[in-house]
Structure 1
Amino acid sequence: MKALVKEQAKPGLWLVDVPEPEIGPGDVLIKVLRTGICGTDLHIRSWDGWARRCVRTPLVLGHEFVGEVVEAGRDVVDIKAGDRVGGEGHLVCGKCRNCLAGRRHLCRATVGLGVGRDGAFAEYVALPASNVWVHRLPVDLDVAAIFDPFGNAVHTALSFPLVGEDVLITGAGPIGLMAAAVARHAGARNVVVTDVSDERLELARKVGADLALNVSDGEIADGQRELGLREGFDIGLEMSGRPEALRDMIANMTHGGRIAMLGLPAEEFPVDWARIVTSMITIKGIYGREMFETWYAMSVLLEGGLDLAPVITGRYGYRDFEEAFADAASGRGGKVILDWTR
C-alpha cells in the first residue's frame, strides 16, 4: 500500500510502498478515506528538536483520519465491515491507576498514533477496537477526518462553563478556530480571538468570533474597551504556546478567572505568578481528549448544528502531499485535508 513515511532522520517525507498492517484478535483494519495534517506532522516533516528526540524512523505518520472498516478481529464486537469510523490517536496501557479508574486520557504510558507507532497517512491503518469511534450519524468526510483536533478544541473549551461568559482565545490556528466555534455555540457572551495573521483572524470572524484582534498592531486591553468589558475576561483558552500570549491573557483576566491551556510552549518561560495568586486565577493544562466523553460531545455538537466547514481551507489528493504540507505550514489558513481516494 502507499504511505507517507518518515524514512530517514532528516527533513522531508517520502511516499512509498509499505506492507499492509496486520491485525490481531482485538484489532480493526480500516481503509483510510481522508486525513488531516496536524502541527505534529509538520514538526516530524521538518525534523526539529522535538521530532529528533521523540520519533524513531522509519515511521508512517498521521493520526487524524476517517475511514471504513474492512476487517475486524475475531474478538471484536459492535464494529463491523462497512462501518465509517475515526480513531482515538492516544493508545493507553489499560493497567495504570488512571486507566483502571476510567481516566484513560491521563495514562502515563500513552503511545501516539503516527508518533510512537505507524499511523494513518496510508491506504490502511490498524487500531485496537477500543480506540475506534464509529460514526453512527452521517458526518461530512472532511469534518470526520478532523475529529482528533476538534476533540482538542472541545476538551479545552468545555473545561469550564461558558454560558454568559466573556471568553478570550489566544491563537487562531485550526484548534483555536474550532474552540471559538464551540464557545459561540455553547452560549458565551463575547468571544475574542487573537493572532498575528489577518487571514486566520478573518476565519475567526466566520466561525462566530465577536472580535478578532491582530496583536501585532493592537492590545487585548483595546479589545476589552471596544466590547465594554470592565473587569476582564472570565475564561481564557490559550492555543498558541507563545509566552507573550499567556502573559497577556493573565494580565487581562478577571479576578477568579479560569484558563485552559492547550498550546504547547517550545521552552520554559516566566509568568507573573503574583498576579495569578492575588487574582485567584485557575490554570488547567489540557492534552488530547477525554476518552470517550469528548467524542460524544463532538458528535452532539455537530448534530446540534455546529458548523466547522469554514475551518477547512485546503483539500488535496495524497499524491500532492508536498503542496498540502506547504499550505499547512504557511500559518495563514485553517485545516488541510488529504484525500486518500484519489
Structure 2
Amino acid sequence: MSERMMDALVKTGPVKGLTLTQVPVPTPGNGEVLIKIHKTAICGTDVHIYNWDPWSQANLNPPLVTGHEYVGEIAECGPNATKYKVGQRVTGEGHIICGTCRNCREGNGQWCPTAKGVGVNRDGAFAEYLCIPESNVVPVDEDLDEDLVSFFDAFGNATHTALMWDLVGEDVLITGAGPIGIMAVAICKYAGARNVVITDVNDFRLDLAKKLGADACVNVAKEKPEDYFEALKIKEGFDVGLEMSGSAPGLNQLLSLMRNGGKVSLLGLQGPNTQINWDHVILKGLTLQGIYGRKIFATWNKMIAMVQGGLDLHPVITHHFHYTEFEKGFEAMISGNSGKVVLDWTTKK
C-alpha cells in the first residue's frame, strides 16, 4: 500500500525561509492522536525559525515541519488513546513533557527540563496533519471561534505572564507591543487592573493595543510613560510589570518605573550580554519571575474561561491567508505591521 502524503511547511535545511512540500502523514503511536489541521497561526518563534537566526541555529535540527499554534479535529486515535473521538475539535499544549521529573510530578510541567517543543524539537502543525500525545490534547468547545483557538498557545503565554500576580486595582506596565503583549493588555483589563500602559516603537501595534483596552500607548522613541502618570493618577510607579519585548532598554525602563515592592514577569528573551541596574531590583525589593510557556493545564482553563466570559481578542487578528500563501503571512509578521496572522488549511488550491 502506498504511503499517504500531505502538504507541509518544512525547514529543509540551515537556510532562511520555509518550503511548501509533500511529506508522509504521521502515524499515531501508542497513546497518540492524529489531528487534521483546520487553521494555524504564525508565532514570533516561527519568525525566528523562518529567518534562521542564532536562536534557531542553536535549537533546531532540520529537516523539520514547523508550527505550533493550531486548531483542528481528531482524525485517528492510536493504540490506547481512548479519551477523544474522531471528529472532535481540539487544539493542544505545545510542550511535550516527560511526566516523571520532579517538576512534572509536582504540577509544574512548564519547567520540565526535557520538554520537547512541537514544531521546534519535533514535527509541528504547519501541515495537513499533526501527531501529538493524547495527554497534550485540549478539547475545543463549539462556542469557541477557530480563528481565536488557532493562537491559543500564544494567548496562553500572555495569560501566564499577566495572571502571575493579583491585578485587581493595580497599575500595569507592559513593555513590548507584539501580539502577546497586546493580548496581555486585554487580559489585565479583564482581570481588574486600574491602568494598563504599554510601550513600543511601532505605532501600528500600539494602535492595536489601544483597541484591546490600553489606557496609554507610549511610543518610547517620542515620549515617556511618566508623561501619563498625572492623568492616570499613578503616584509611586507601577505595581506590576510585564516584560514582553526582549529588549534591554525596555527591561531597564520597566525596572526603573516600578514602585517599591513591585512584581515583574519576564517573558521576553534577553540577549546574553544584557545588563540591568541591580539597585532597581534590590533597593526597591522587586520580585522578578521568569515565565516560560503555560501552566499545564491551569493556564488553558483560565484562558478558555475568559474567552467564554466575554474577553474579545478578535481585534488582534489582522491577516488571513491560505497556507499556500504562507510567505505573505511571514512578510506581514516580519514587517511589524500585523497582529496575529492566521493560515487556513481546510481547503487545497
TM range (shorter): over 0.9
Distance 1:101 1:188 in 2: 30
State the shift of 1:137 in Å.
Answer: 4.3
**Segment of structure 1 superposing worse, 228-237 or 132-141:** 132-141
The code of the aligned residue for 1:208 comes to G
Hey, what does 1:269 align to over in structure 2? 274
State the shift of 1:2 in Å.
Answer: 0.1
Distance 1:151 1:129 in 2: 19
Q: Alignment length, in residue pairs?
A: 342
Contact 1:151/1:288 (8 A) holds in 2: yes
State the shift of 1:25 in Å.
Answer: 2.4
Distance 1:178 1:324 in 2: 19
State the shift of 1:277 in Å.
Answer: 0.8
State the shift of 1:74 in Å.
Answer: 3.0
Distance 2:271 2:323 in 1: 29
Distance 1:21 1:341 in 2: 18
Aligned equivalent of 2:186, options 181, 186, 190: 181
Hey, what does 1:163 align to over in structure 2? 168
Distance 2:336 2:272 in 1: 20
State the shift of 1:49 in Å.
Answer: 1.1
Contact 1:213/1:223 (8 A) holds in 2: no
**Segment of structure 1 superposing worse, 74-83 or 318-327:** 74-83
Aligned equivalent of 1:191, options 173, 196, 200: 196
Distance 1:274 1:265 in 2: 19
- Residue 91 of structure 2 is aligned to residue 86 of structure 1: yes
State the shift of 1:52 in Å.
Answer: 1.1
Distance 2:227 2:290 in 1: 27
CA deviations 1:253-296 (Å, max 9, x no partner) are 11100000111113331111112111111110000000000000
**Segment of structure 1 superposing worse, 161-170 or 224-233:** 224-233
Hey, what does 1:153 align to over in structure 2? 158
Distance 1:122 1:193 in 2: 35
The code of the aligned residue for 1:84 comes to R
Hey, what does 1:251 align to over in structure 2? 256
Structure 2: gaps of 5 or more residues: 1-5
Distance 1:234 1:137 in 2: 38
Contact 1:153/1:176 (8 A) holds in 2: yes
The code of the aligned residue for 2:22 comes to D
State the shift of 1:80 in Å.
Answer: 0.8
State the shift of 1:54 in Å.
Answer: 1.1
Aligned equivalent of 1:50, options 42, 45, 55: 55
Distance 1:136 1:34 in 2: 16
Q: How does 1:1-342 map to 2 (within 5 A)?
A: 1-342=6-347
State the shift of 1:224 in Å.
Answer: 2.0
Distance 2:199 2:230 in 1: 15
Distance 1:223 1:268 in 2: 31
State the shift of 1:225 in Å.
Answer: 3.2
Structure 1: gaps of 5 or more residues: none
Q: Percent identity?
A: 51
The code of the aligned residue for 1:71 comes to E
Distance 1:138 1:13 in 2: 33
Contact 1:191/1:209 (8 A) holds in 2: yes
Distance 1:177 1:148 in 2: 15
The SS at the match of 2:24 is coil
The code of the aligned residue for 1:250 comes to L
**Segment of structure 1 superposing worse, 167-176 or 71-80:** 71-80
Distance 1:122 1:237 in 2: 33
CA deviations 1:25-75 (Å, max 9, x no partner) are 200100000001011111111111111111111000000000010111231
State the shift of 1:223 in Å.
Answer: 2.4
**Segment of structure 1 superposing worse, 113-122 or 99-108:** 99-108
Contact 1:2/1:17 (8 A) holds in 2: yes
Distance 1:59 1:19 in 2: 12
Distance 2:225 2:253 in 1: 7
